[in-house]
Amino acid sequence: MLTRARGRRAGIGLLLLFLPVLLACPRRPAARTSGPPNFLVIVLDDLGVDVPGCYGGTTYQTPRLDALAAAGLRFDAAFSTPLCTPSRVQLLTGRYPFRTGWTDNMLERLEEGGDGPRFLDPAERTFAALLKEAGYATAVAGKWQLCHFAERPEHVKECGFDEYCCWLWMDQDPQSGELVYTSRYWLPSVIQDGVIRRSITGTYGPDLYTDYLIDFMQRNRDRPFLALHNMVLPHPPFEPTAAQLDPAQVTEEPHPADSYFRGMVKYADEIIGRMVDALDELGLAENTVVLVTSDNGTPEEIRLRRSGEMRPGGKGELTAAGTHVPLIASWPGRIAPGRASGALIDLSDFLPTLLELAGAPLPPGLTLDGKSFAPVLLGSGAGARRWVFSQVQERCFVRGGRYKLYDDGRFYDVAADPEEERDLAGDASVAGPRDGLRAVLDSLPR
């Protein structure tokens, strides 16, 4: 009894000795585990559905994306436009290109003689702006390319993002005054919360954007947040990643060899893993919806195995190679693992989906083309779409589950003919589905 009492007194003495130290140590706030979910949306740049292993790709390594698909839901019929700007505007606004006027890439508007506004009109309500109104902290990092920052330096904030660290992408040459591209990867130039930082030495851009968003998630772990990672990978130019090159050896000259694409895909996959791991470490995984997709198909310089043959990527084309993109969703405890869905999805569906999951209302009078796929995510319903639509410039298509109709009349059974080699426009046996899709196309006010 005497020994036990002495032991208790000694333990109390040690506690009193270290109590001031314990009280002085900063404590991390508890992660929020209830209320509206957080959103981590990752948009890969130029990565078609034929690349990830979880979609049958065998040429490139995507173990983290594959693991995310195994732990969540893989959509097998998700579609974009075939180019960057139209896809990103459609994703942010929930509206098709013919409504917003963004049917081509931003670059065309910046060139001499280019037509149309040189920025996305902030009057177009983005999902960031609507979630911000619902109490969300919002941030974006990586690619923006929806304005020329010299003309509209606060554009990202005007579109609903509280914080941002975005690739500057175009700058004015100090001598000629002409617009020039800045480096996408090494020695990047960025605009971060209104401050321009040019040619940051010893820095690999994708790491900069990833670290920025992880810091944002950590600082906002006690409130609902939206983190949008517009990844710059694996878009050309094909260059060595931070895993392949010593930063001290980097120059401003691009590396033309497309053999680097393999490493760029691998690095993009590792970034996805880093962000998912950060959610786990912050205790946020079970209250965060993760969505990973891409803006369009793979560049034509890259050859991939499709339909049993090595074929070029289809970026810029309205074929499946240009518009069929991956879409992976994960929400531990809410999205059942190991599922695949054939529900038709296009990028306009993100806005209504995020708002439904957040419990936020759609603004009255807002004309949307998107349909929420929240019921598919939660296993409580089927897809709301009977068709998807894609447009670039004046060309477009509408596609159902099996058939696809172009505006010029070409018609394909894409379930049986994914490479679109047999035009069925004159085949009377498929007149019914062809006429049905024609009625849909004619109903859209293009």
| Structural domain total, the chain | 2
Q: Are residues 237 and 119 in the same domain?
A: yes
274 lies in the same domain as 141: yes
**Do both 202 and 277 map to the same domain?**
yes
Is 194 part of a structural domain of the chain? yes
Q: Which two tokens stand for residue 307?
A: 């339909």
In a domain, 7, yes or no: no
* pLDDT value for 258: 57
Predicted local distance difference test score (pLDDT) of residue 12:
43
- Taking alpha carbons only, the member of 97, 95, 92 closest to residue 396 is 97
Q: Which alpha helices (H) appear in 104-242, and where do they start and end? A: 106-110, 127-133, 155-158, 205-219
What number is the average pLDDT over the span 86-96? Answer: 98
226 CB-near residues (< 8 Å, 6+ apart):
38, 39, 41, 127, 128, 131, 132, 136, 137, 138, 139, 354
Neighbours of 255 (CB within 10 A): 16
Q: Report whether pLDDT(282) > 60.
A: yes
More reliable by pLDDT, 176 or 357: 357
Q: Is residue 91 part of a domain?
A: yes
**Is residue 146 a part of any domain in this protein?**
yes
Look at residue 31 in the predicted model and tell me its pLDDT: 67
Instruction: Summarize the confidence of residues 267-277 as an average pLDDT.
Output: 98
Quick one: 272 and 170 in the same domain? yes
Domain of 84: which CATH number? 3.40.720.10
More confident residue, 17 or 81: 81
21 pLDDT more than 50: no
Q: What is the mean pLDDT of the chain?
A: 90
pLDDT at site 173 = 84
Q: Tell me: cis bond preceding 418? Omega within 30 of 0 counts.
A: no
pLDDT at 7: 43
Q: Domain range spanning residue 195?
A: 38-385
Q: Please tell me the chain's helix, strand, coil percentages from 3-state DSSP, rounded to the nearest 5.
A: 35, 20, 45
* Beta pairing partners, 210: none
In-domain check, residue 6: no
Do 203 and 262 belong together in one domain? yes
Last residue of a domain, one of 364, 385, 406: 385
Q: Which helix (H) or strand (E) holds 3?
A: helix 2-24
What are the CA-CA distances from residue 210 to residues 47, 51, 199, 201 (Å)? 18, 22, 18, 17
Phi, psi of 87 (to 5 degrees): -65, -45
Q: Which of 334, 359, 385 is the last residue of a domain?
A: 385
In the chain, % of residues over pLDDT 70? 90
Q: Is the dihedral of CA 107, 113, 116, 121 positive or negative?
A: positive
Per-residue confidence (pLDDT) for residue 415, from 0 to 100:
96
CB 344 within 8 A of CB 388: yes
Find, among 29, 33, 31, 30, the residue nearest to 287 by Cα.
Answer: 33
Q: In angstroms, rounded to a whole number, what is the distance separating the alpha carbons of residues 279 and 271? A: 13
Where a domain ends, among 346, 362, 385? 385
Does pLDDT of 47 surpass 90?
yes
- The CA-based angle 97-145-214, given to 5 degrees, is 115
pLDDT value, residue 249: 61
pLDDT interval class at 349 (50, 70, 90) = very high
84 vs 90: CA distance, rounded Å: 10
Residue 147 has pLDDT above 70, yes or no: yes
Strands 411-413 and 403-406: antiparallel
Three-state DSSP class for residue 8: helix
User: How do residues 324-342 score in pLDDT, each as one tens digit?
Assistant: 999 999 999 999 999 999 9
- What pLDDT score was predicted for residue 113? 73
Nearest Cα residue to 44 out of 31, 30, 29, 55: 55
Quick check: is 23 in a domain?
Answer: no
Rounded to two decimals, the pTM is: 0.91
Q: What is the pLDDT of residue 253?
A: 57
User: Could you tell me whether strands 339-341 and 303-306 are parallel, antiparallel, or unpaired per DSSP bridges?
Assistant: unpaired
Please check whether residues 115 and 152 belong to one and the same domain.
yes
In a domain, 26, yes or no: no
pLDDT tens digits along 149-174:
999 999 999 999 999 999 999 998 88
Residue 310 sits in the same domain as residue 267: yes
Looking at residue 305, what is its pLDDT? 84
Task: Evaluate if residue 20 carries a pLDDT over 60.
Answer: no
| Higher pLDDT, residue 231 or 111 | 231
* pLDDT band, very low/low/confident/very high, at 194 (cuts 50, 70, 90): very high
* C-beta of residue 328 within 8 angstroms of C-beta of residue 441: no
Same domain, 112 and 183: yes
Q: Mean pLDDT across the stretch 23-44?
A: 74
Which tokens go with 57?
């790709």
Pair (188, 323) in one structural domain? yes
User: 225-230 and 137-142: which strand pairing?
Assistant: parallel
Token pair of 83, please?
């180019």
How far apart CA 179 and CA 151 sit, in angstroms, is 12
Are 94 and 234 in a shared domain? yes
**160 and 283 share a domain?**
yes
With respect to residue 56, please indicate whether it lies within any of the assigned structural domains. Answer: yes
Residues 399, 381: one domain? no
Task: Describe the strand order of the beta sheet including 388-392 as a list of residue ranges.
Answer: 388-392, 395-399, 403-406, 411-413
* Residue 118, C-beta contacts closer than 8 angstroms, at least 6 positions apart: 106, 109, 110, 147, 148, 151, 152
pLDDT over threshold 90, residue 95: yes
400 or 252, greater pLDDT: 400
Does the pLDDT at position 15 exceed 70? no
| Alpha carbon distance 412, 300 (integer Å) | 22
pLDDT at 24: 47
38, 230 contact by CB (below 8 A) = no
Nearest CA among 84, 114, 131 for reference residue 323: 84
Average pLDDT over residues 282-298: 97
What average pLDDT does the segment 248-256 reach? 55
**Torsional class of 193: left (φ above 0), alpha (ψ -120 to 50), beta (otherwise):** left
- Whether the Cβ atoms of residue 226 and residue 138 lie closer than 8 Å to each other: yes
What percentage of the chain carries pLDDT values higher than 90? 78
